[in-house]
Every structure is written in structure tokens, then in C-alpha cells.
Amino acid sequence: MSTERKLRAGLIGLGAMGRNHARVLSNLAGVELVAVVDPMGDSTGTLRAPVVPTVAELIALGIDYAVIACPTALHEEVGLELAANGICALIEKPLAPSIDGARRLVDAFEKAGLVAGVGHIERYNPALQNLRSRLEAGDLGEVFQVVTRRQGPFPHRIADVGVVMDLATHDIDLTSWVTGQSYVSVSAHTVFRSGRPHEDMVAAVGQLADGSMVNHLVNWLSPLKERSTVITGEKGCFVADTLTADLTFYANGAITTEWEALRSFRGVAEGDMIRFAIPKREPLLVEHERFRDAVEGKPSDIVTLRQGLRTVEVASAVLQSAKTKSTVVLPENM
């Protein structure tokens, strides 16, 4: 029987996402969920761990790392308190609601020499993990365009940010990660329809460093729930559905059609369609396993705070573009 010490973890925030984190942490190998912070307590009474009202009380219990799943507006304050006390942190996306706040978090954890990451969960979606590997292997050749669609009903849990910081940050991060390219410019339009001070819909066009085009359509005004990433390149296109974790490849065909009316406008010919069989592990569990390994000092693929900062920079540029009705050029990647 192993006597290896378990990592002591804490959780801050018991909202919808926080409860998912609590579920995974409660069963994560090599980790003990010591306590959860939420001033409202545990309304369901289902948690195995005690609930304390403040971060200071959690720190006093002695923890190795904490997951920050409180409202985005509190990420900086809570993160800085953890860094000051030598505690590693996995911070839910977005890293912070502002570029300056995100930078302060980067500086604090780097200066303290602590492991810290951002919860961009789409990186651990099986379809996108598989897609990234195939792009790296050259299965698509040169990438021409990345198109994402992320829409669904309004999430009443969100009150402090709009659809750009809440949802579009998923697409910004996954686009950079899957392609290995940074954004160089964005142009966007936003819509306000729900009577809230934040935007409910955004349509954005961007360009990546390799010249490929990006399109993001994001809203929480639709009864249709959709999570789609389509990457088109010289050999065809990949379609990833991150709701079902399905990945399909539509190849450019080598067979020309004899139907003249179709041949005149089709461009590339239609080739084989392949739907890949992919092992489908829960992305949140994989995210936690990767972060646990990083805290233990093992080689691990986590979303760094600097990567999280870059996503906040791009999202802020999207909002700036919509406000000023102009294209925003981004600074070179840090």
C-alpha cells in the first residue's frame, strides 16, 4: 500500500462551474480536497469537504494549490492572495477581466516561482486534441481559415462580464492553440439585446500571424446550443463538434465531375469524408490531471498564465474594435 502524500487542494467558488470542479477534485487520484470557500455555504449539502467563508481560512488549513472558480471580477484579488502565501493556482478562464489585472497575476506567480494555470477547458476536448495533432502532422497542409460558432441560451450564472470574456475567450484560446499561431489583428461588432450592461453577441474577424483568416460568431441569445470549429486548408477541412467531441475530415477530391454545371462553380472537388473514432475522456478531468502533475513537478501540458494573458489581450481588442468601429492591431506575442 502506497504511503505517498496526497496533494492538499482547495476550491474557491461554488457556482455551476465550481461544483463541477468540486466533483472532479473529490475523486482525483493523488489529491485531497481539503475545503471549499464560498460565503453562501453549501446549499445542497452534497459536498464531502467542509465549506469556509474566506480565502484566509482556506489558506490556514494548509494547501498546496487552489482552484479559483469565483466570479471573474474576483480572480485578481484571490489570485494575488494565494501567490503571496506561496500557493499554486488553477484559475478559471478568463484569467482576469482586464489586461492590467491579468499582468499583475502573471507577475505575482512568476516572481513567487509558483505553478499557475488557466482553465481553458476546450484545450482538453478530445476532438480538439486530436485535431491539433493532425494539423501538426500536416494532414491539412496550409491552413486558410478557422471558423468557430459558439451559441446557446443565456447563462444566468454570469453577471460580471459579457459574451466576449465569458465565451469568446474559449474560441480565442483554442484557435491560437490548435493552429500554433497568434492573433495579429481583429475587427468586431457586438450586440446588446438582453438589457444588461454587457454584450450578448459578437461577430469577429481576425488574422493570425501566418496570414490565415479567423471568424468567430458567439452569442447567448439562441435556443440552439452549438459548439463548432471548422478549419479549412489546402487538403480539405476539419469539423470539430466540441459538444459531442466528434471530429470529421472532408477531403478535397481528386476526381473531377462530368456535370459541367457543377464543375463551373464548385472549385475543389468533393472527396472522402472521414469521421474519426476518438477516445472521449472528460475534458475537466484531464485538465485537473495535467495541473496536478504540474504541481508535482512532472512534465505536463497546462495553459500558462502568459497564454491566458494573451487571450485577455485579444478579447480586449475585440471589445475595443466593436466600441471604436475599427480594426485593432495587436502587439507582438509576449
Quote the pLDDT of residue 41. Answer: 84
Lowest mean pLDDT among 64-73, 108-117, 146-155, 315-324: 146-155
Q: Are 175 and 132 in contact (CB under 8 A)?
A: no
**What CA–CA distance (Å, rounded) separates 77 from 101?**
9
Lowest mean pLDDT among 31-40, 95-104, 120-129, 189-198: 189-198
From edge to edge, which strands make up the β-sheet containing 31-37? 51-52, 31-37, 7-12, 65-68, 88-92, 116-119
* Residue ranges of the chain that CATH labels 3.30.360.10: 123-279+313-329
* Residue ranges of the chain that CATH labels 3.40.50.720: 7-121+284-303
Quote the pLDDT of residue 253. Answer: 80
Quote the pLDDT of residue 329. Answer: 97
Using pLDDT thresholds of 50, 70 and 90, give the confidence band for residue 251.
very high
Q: How much is the average pLDDT of 171-176? A: 98
| Sequence-ordered list of residues with C-beta below 8 angstroms from that of 291, at least 6 positions apart, any chain | 65, 90, 115, 117, 300, 302
Taking the model in full, what pTM does it have?
0.92
Using pLDDT thresholds of 50, 70 and 90, give the confidence band for residue 65.
very high
Q: How much is the average pLDDT of 226-243? A: 97
Q: Is the pLDDT of residue 216 over 70?
A: yes
The CATH number assigned to the domain with range 123-279+313-329 reads 3.30.360.10
7-121+284-303 architecture in CATH? 3-Layer(aba) Sandwich (3.40)
DSSP for residue 245: T
